């Protein structure tokens, strides 16, 4: 699966990073960067948690 970010929606609070720190991080400007866009296995579980926790639904998972 692939993590997709709707960047205009993202407010940069970083809850997704807390849920999946190995997959994404906020840079020094508060922009979210997806470090591992293609996920499977344990990474997929973390990615799903990040999607769930985003308060503005800026993240989604799509078939890779």
Helix (H, G, I), strand (E, B) or coil at 7: helix
Decide whether 12 or 40 has the Cβ nearer to ligand SF4: 12
C-alpha count within 13 angstroms, C-beta hemisphere, residue 3: 31
Q: Count of CB atoms within 10 A of residue 62's CB?
A: 8
Measured distance CA(10)–CA(56) in Å, rounded: 7
Decide whether 21 or 40 has the Cβ nearer to ligand SF4: 21
> Please, what is the minimum distance in Å from the beta carbon of residue 41 to ligand SF4?
21
> Please, what is the minimum distance in Å from the beta carbon of residue 54 to ligand SF4?
3
| Interacting residues with ligand SF4 (CB under 6 A) | 10-16, 32, 54, 56, 58-59
């Amino acid at each position: 699966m692939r993590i997709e970010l709707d960047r205009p929606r993202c407010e940069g609070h970083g809850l997704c990073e807390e849920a999946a720190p190995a997959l994404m991080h906020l840079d020094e400007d508060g922009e979210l960067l997806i470090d591992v866009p293609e996920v499977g296995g344990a990474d997929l579980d973390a990615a799903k948690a990040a999607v769930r926790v985003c308060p503005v639904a800026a993240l989604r998972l799509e078939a890779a």
